[in-house]
Amino acid sequence: MKFVKDVAKTQLNKDQITDQQAEEAFRTILKWIGEDPSREGLFETPKRVVKAFKEYFKGYHQDPMINLKKTFSDVDGYDDMVVEKNISLESHCEHHIAPIIGVVHVAYIPKTKVVGISKLARTVEVFSKRLQTQERLTMQIAKTLMEGLEAKGVAVTINAAHQCMTMRGIKKEKATTVTNCFLGSFKEDLSYQNRYLRLIAK
């Protein structure tokens, strides 16, 4: 059963916009804010922004499950939680295309398979390099790990600042948002959940 709907593929095939068309759109925005896109300092800017956007949104071209295909079972029966803390997060909110900057904590309890630790961060990366809400990002990471690792339980916590809130609008520069998702044993057994919360609080 597929937990996470992969919206990326359907969106991509619909209309293929060329780099040149995207650059032209940024040139229009530069004019619209009152700039002269032909002046020296800005001449190459649309090209650079397109390149940067390709990096910010590379997650649309990545399959989150690929990272979790290679697993290991030779771990001498390790069956406690694996916690990966403070994975740095850079994403963009889908309402303002403003940066979301923070950290992600991820934990899973293996059933039979464990995965290379870097793959947890890679899973975070695939979904964060798309336009997001923090709530959806939390759920997508959790459900993908649960399904991909056939884990007994998964916990995901995100603590992030949204620049659409800190730099504009209500301008609460110290506000951060915390979201959690608990699946399997982390949801059913509060002793797991509490140990996880203690471990990430340190």
Shortest CB 89 distance to Zn ion, Å: 15
Nearest CB to Zn ion, comparing residues 96 and 187:
96
Nearest to 94 by CA among 143, 145, 128, 43: 128
Residue 34's SS3 state is coil
Q: Using CB under 5 A, which of the segments 2-10, 81-89, 96-104, 194-202 binds Zn ion? A: 96-104
93 binds Zn ion (CB under 5 A): yes
Cα–Cα distance for residue pair 114/73, rounded to 1 Å:
6
Nearest to 112 by CA among 86, 139, 81, 151: 151
Q: Please say if 134 is a catalytic residue.
A: yes
Q: Using CB under 5 A, which of the segments 17-25, 53-61, 90-98, 113-121 binds Zn ion? A: 90-98
Q: Please say if 181 is a catalytic residue.
A: no
How many chain residues interact with Zn ion (CB under 5 A)?
4
Q: Which tokens in the block code for residue 153? A: 């339980």
Interface residue with Zn ion, options 39, 61, 70, 95 (CB under 5 A): 95
Shortest CB 44 distance to Zn ion, Å: 28
136 binds Zn ion (CB under 5 A): no
User: Looking at 24, 35, 62, 164, which residue is catalytic?
Assistant: 164
User: Looking at 20, 61, 94, 173, which residue is catalytic?
Assistant: 94
Nearest CB to Zn ion, comparing residues 93 and 200:
93
Query: What letters, b where the CB count within 10 A reaches 16 and e where it falls short, cover 50-76?
Result: beeeeebbebbebebeebbeeeeeeee
Nearest to 27 by CA among 53, 52, 45: 45
Nearest CB to Zn ion, comparing residues 12 and 175:
175
183 binds Zn ion (CB under 5 A): no
Query: What letters, b where the CB count within 10 A reaches 16 and e where it falls short, cover 165-195?
Result: bbeeeeeeeeeeeebbbbbbbbeeeeebbeb
Q: Which residues of the chain form contacts with Zn ion (CB under 5 A)?
A: 93, 95-96, 164
